[in-house]
Structure 1
Amino acid sequence: MTTTFAILLATAAIIAVVVLIARFRLNPFIVLFSVSILLALCAGMPADKVVASFEAGAGHVLGHVGTIIALGTMLGKMLAESGGADRIALTISERAGRQRIDWAMMVIGLLVGLPVFFEVGVVLLFPLAFVLAARTETSLLRVALPMGAALSVTHAMIPPHPATLLALSAYHANTGTTIFWGVLLGTPIAAISGPLFARFISPRVLITEKNALAEQFVQREIPTNLPGFMVTVLTITCPVILMLIGSSADMFTTPRSAANMFLHFIGNTDIALLLATVMSFYVLGLARGFSRETILRFTNECLGPTALIMLLVGAGGGFGRELIDSGVSKAITDAAVSAHVPLLVLAWLLAAIVRVACGSSTVAMSTASGIAGPILAHSQGVSPELMVIATGAGSVAFGPMNDAGFWQMKEYLGLTVPQTIKTWSVLETIIAVLGLVFCVGISMFI
């Protein structure tokens, strides 16, 4: 297969995905599946191996990420039902004061966003944003946008989010180092795209429509019997702490010793999330007076909405596998290596393109890392951890209208579509651009 044909084929496949999803409004899973199959057939791959290749790619991705999605969703559910999210928001906002409420909401978003999907974080925290905006007589945009920026940053750049973990696997990056860079780079990015941007844009976008949803929550009484602040924060950050311990185990224990293997075991992503979720069943469940039957109901009912997410993530993995098995990825890899295309930029662009195509940042990150991973394996001098961050930054680019988050923000804030583009889409683009700029800048010194 010639390099030109491989590039044209991959380009045509990506354009087809964009057009079919964005223009014709077809189901993203069907589109990714169909385009993957057609790409492999056009590349000359034997028909009897095409479907098996897609299944292998989807199975590999889901085998890694399915458990993460399930456990993270359960942990988020316990956080919501116990009032843990309310406790964190109230405590931080009370200590921050009225003038710094936007900065407080950014911190809240960073903390609560660690174990939950962006969409779940929005549902958890927007009621509190409504209440705090009303009680402090602050613009809802100034309160809510910093929260949304923080949730988006944690979703894209900081493990244990599923997409970030997929990129970790694809690039063979170190978990602890990725968390370090994710926090170090993600915090100023959240600050610029959150409180600073919100202070600039909120006076320029006036919300004139009556927000019935906000009124409903403003009238809501916040429970007085909430879990403690420290125990809630400890439960949320438990998986991150365990993963950091596991990734640094070789620094203070003898490799392959019993203690070393134990620390690596509890620092494994699946085990860390499992331990944190089981911990939440007690400290946010049984200790709060919930029965075992109630906790079981919570964990069962929260998994239904994750089905589509898993399908899309799996389809993204299948698409990436078809590119590899058909030889298209190798041809592009050889061309990229010989042309010295900056890998950080390439990974960012791939993620941004898929983001526009299907809307899902998780699919964008898993697909882009699946394509860029083999290129990184043949390259030197590029940090795998920065590749994770750059890919994550590209995966939230533009805040397109085929992203569920776009419509969530529109409805919760009571904005028109043009106003949502001016606020949320611009905010997401700021995160994406700053993520790439920071990664390229840091790569010059490490």
Structure 2
Amino acid sequence: MDGIGLILIIIAGVFFVIVATAKFNLHPFLSLLIAAFAIGISSGMPLPDVVEAVNGGFGGLMGGIGLVIVFGTIIGVILEKSGAALRMAEVVLRIVGEKRPQLAMSAIGSIVSIPVFCDSGYVILSSLKKALANKTKVTVASMAIALSTGLFATHTLVPPTPGPIAAAGNIGAENYLGTVILFGIIVAIPAILAGYLWAVKAGTKIHIQSDEDESMYNYDEVVSSFGDMPSAIKSFAPILVPILLIGFSSVITFAGWTGSIFSFFLFLGSPVVALLVGVLFAFALLPKFDEETLTEWIGVGIKEAAPILLITGAGGAFGSVISSTSIADLIKGIAGNDLAVGALFIFIPFVIAAALKSAQGSSTAAIVITSTLIAPLLTQLGIEGAVPLALVVMSVGAGAMVVSHVNDSYFWVVKEFSGMSITQAYKAQTMGTLIQGGTAIVVTSILWFLLV
């Protein structure tokens, strides 16, 4: 099948994924796989080809980024359980200063969320947030917005967070991860600042009922309650070392340097090896080497990685089936359209991801599905290379911010751990993520216009 019929089949498949996950709470893994088989069969593909496309898409993507996701989640769990995440928070607070508590909270959140899922990061830092609010005499709502938006920005934009890594893998940018990290940081900073400004503007006007009870949170007591935390160098190393290795590898590739020493650093800078090195640095944070830390903690990281791996693999299968249909011929017709190849193209992934995020709630699922949908389009339009593909990942990530509301688990984490009502959470969290997503896509589109 081709033409308008094929387009309607693909639209129906996407609609099924949205309805199945948002309305009937079917896990995205199954909804994506069911949709993949349905699209392949309905489009008239030979049945053996459908099976081959599903298996190839799933396995191919896992081969590229599966271990990277696992290593990243293991690092996050160790940072959380060892107290290293709080040590990083304390260091950032000392640097930024207590006179700008919301900015400190935004910065803390943005760093912690690179390896730690934003939901977990918010829970980890919740008591610190309340204690700092009490110490600096600002509203808890203001601190809550600053923390939640800081966490959210890097969660959707900066690898090794699973979403951006999955997007890079889906569109063929896994070899440009250093560039994706660089642009992720560049785009995330304005988004973080936008969240901070919203925290200062809106958060100070939101008075939570539990504010009057915050005197029980003494900052010094909260920090000391975590016991002996690791040193700052040990705490930051599992995050910074992999990023530096990946970044230096990108510089070597860009500069064309050759030689055995550069080949060695290219090896260390490959995402799988760099994240494994990060895991080894994380071992220095373990309070002891026994079954609890070496088996249970790492087991938790593997368990947290499993759903992301399954969703990402299913997204790869979904995209592989779509790519195997005659959709490529239709896309070739779009390729001559100035709108498609011009500066406005960068808004297409953003709109798709925003629609999926708002409809079904999960930012990671929105990123995975969007990147699989647009991958064939990028190929046919000749959009390739480090910078263009990195900016496409940024567009997808920006869309996955818009918006966090009642069908998003993160919305409820922020609401419950800050004590806000649903109405207050809409004003704080939902509006904050809308502003962040808008800021991120504006910055991305400017970079696209200037660099592509």
Q: Structure 2 length normalisation: TM-score?
A: 0.89
Instruction: Give the aligned partner of residue 61 of structure 2.
Output: 61
Given the alignment, which residue of 144, 166, 185 partners 2:187? 185
Note if 1:292 corresponds to 2:294.
no
Give the Å deviation of 1:245. 1.0
Question: What do the CA deviations read for 1:147-188 (whole angstroms, capped 9, x no partner)?
Answer: 221221112211222222232234444223222222122101
Note if 1:239 corresponds to 2:238.
no
Note if 1:334 corresponds to 2:336.
no
Give the Å deviation of 1:273. 0.7
CA contact (8 A) 2:134 2:214 kept: no
CA contact (8 A) 1:67 1:270 kept: yes
- Where do residues 311-322 of structure 1 align in structure 2 (5 Å cutoff)? 311-322=310-321
Q: Matched residues in 2 for 1:72 and 1:391: separation?
A: 20
CA contact (8 A) 2:139 2:207 kept: no
Q: Structure 1 length normalisation: TM-score?
A: 0.90
Q: Once structures 1 and 2 are overlaid, which stretch shifts more, 102-111 or 224-233? A: 224-233
Note if 1:259 corresponds to 2:261.
yes
Question: What do the CA deviations read for 1:424-443 (whole angstroms, capped 9, x no partner)?
Answer: 12222222222221111222
Give the Å deviation of 1:242. 0.8
Change (3 A) 1:415 1:332: farther
CA contact (8 A) 2:353 2:367 kept: yes
Change (3 A) 1:209 1:3: farther
Task: Please tell me the residue identity of whatever aligns with 1:58.
Answer: F
Q: Matched residues in 1 for 2:115 and 2:89: separation?
A: 16
Change (3 A) 1:10 1:278: same
Given the alignment, which residue of 274, 282, 287 partners 1:280? 282
Q: Matched residues in 2 for 1:40 and 1:164: separation?
A: 27
Instruction: Give the aligned partner of residue 199 of structure 1.
Output: 200
Give the Å deviation of 1:363. 2.1
Note if 1:356 corresponds to 2:337.
no
CA contact (8 A) 2:71 2:279 kept: yes
Given the alignment, which residue of 390, 395, 418 partners 1:390? 395
CA contact (8 A) 1:281 1:295 kept: no
Instruction: Give the aligned partner of residue 306 of structure 1.
Output: 305
CA contact (8 A) 1:83 1:227 kept: yes
Q: Matched residues in 2 for 1:212 and 1:271: separation?
A: 48
SS of match in other structure, 1:303: helix
Change (3 A) 1:183 1:299: same
Question: What do the CA deviations read for 1:341-398 (whole angstroms, capped 9, x no partner)?
Answer: 2431111122223323432222222222222222222325772221111111112221
CA contact (8 A) 1:65 1:162 kept: no
Change (3 A) 1:99 1:3: farther
Give the Å deviation of 1:53. 2.1
Change (3 A) 1:17 1:209: farther
Question: What do the CA deviations read for 1:44-97 (whole angstroms, capped 9, x no partner)?
Answer: 112333233223222222333331222112111221222211212223224433
Identity across the alignment (%): 27
CA contact (8 A) 1:158 1:182 kept: yes
Q: Matched residues in 1 for 2:218 and 2:292: separation?
A: 24
Instruction: Give the aligned partner of residue 24 of structure 2.
Output: 24
CA contact (8 A) 2:77 2:300 kept: no
Give the Å deviation of 1:113. 1.9
Q: Matched residues in 2 for 1:110 and 1:332: separation?
A: 41
Q: Matched residues in 1 for 2:62 and 2:111: separation?
A: 26
Task: Please tell me the residue identity of whatever aligns with 1:394.
Answer: G
Note if 1:418 corresponds to 2:420.
no
Instruction: Give the aligned partner of residue 378 of structure 2.
Output: 376
Note if 1:139 corresponds to 2:139.
yes
CA contact (8 A) 1:57 1:320 kept: yes
Change (3 A) 1:31 1:378: closer
CA contact (8 A) 1:36 1:322 kept: yes
Change (3 A) 1:122 1:275: same
Given the alignment, which residue of 409, 414, 431 partners 1:409? 414
CA contact (8 A) 2:98 2:136 kept: yes
Q: Matched residues in 2 for 1:260 and 1:103: separation?
A: 39
Give the Å deviation of 1:217. 9.8
SS of match in other structure, 2:209: coil
Change (3 A) 1:251 1:48: closer
Q: Matched residues in 2 for 1:374 and 1:146: separation?
A: 37
CA contact (8 A) 2:191 2:437 kept: no
Instruction: Give the aligned partner of residue 47 of structure 1.
Output: 47
Change (3 A) 1:27 1:294: closer
Given the alignment, which residue of 231, 244, 247 partners 1:228? 231
Q: Matched residues in 2 for 1:80 and 1:394: separation?
A: 28
Give the Å deviation of 1:240. 0.6
Q: Matched residues in 2 for 1:38 and 1:409: separation?
A: 37
